[in-house]
């Protein structure tokens, strides 16, 4: 398997935590020394292991934020 590198540039929020201590987080992450992207995924308590996640460019994050602001959570 190819090696990859990552650096959490900015921790933004914890979205939830499992009973095993893994936390779903929103972070700004640079993957393989590339431009940082917004990243949502589960992380082990020591941040050495991670689950599958999703990365979003600035443009995608703006679109997501706009969609979330328009969402009526009272209907859920």
> Is pLDDT at 1 greater than 80 in this prediction?
no
Strand residue runs (E) in 1-76 = 6-17, 23-31, 37-43, 50-56
What's the burial of 43, exposed, middle or buried (CB within 10 Å: 0-12/13-18/19+)?
A: buried
pLDDT confidence of residue 76: 65
Average pLDDT for 21-40 = 97
The pLDDT, as a whole number, for residue 72 is: 85
Residue with the larger pLDDT of the pair 70 and 4: 70
The CATH number, out of the four listed (1.10.275.10, 2.30.31.70, 2.40.50.40, 3.40.50.720), of the domain defined by the range 6-75: 2.30.31.70
| Interval 39-69: pLDDT, tens | 999 999 999 899 999 999 999 999 999 999 9
């Amino acid at each position: 398997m190819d090696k990859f590198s990552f650096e959490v540039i900015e921790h933004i929020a914890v979205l939830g935590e499992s009973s095993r201590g893994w936390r779903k987080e929103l972070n700004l992450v640079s993957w393989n020394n590339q431009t940082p992207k917004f990243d949502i995924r589960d992380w082990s308590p020591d941040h050495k292991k991670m689950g599958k996640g999703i990365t979003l460019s600035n443009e995608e994050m703006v679109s997501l934020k706009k969609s979330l602001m328009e969402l009526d959570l009272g209907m859920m």
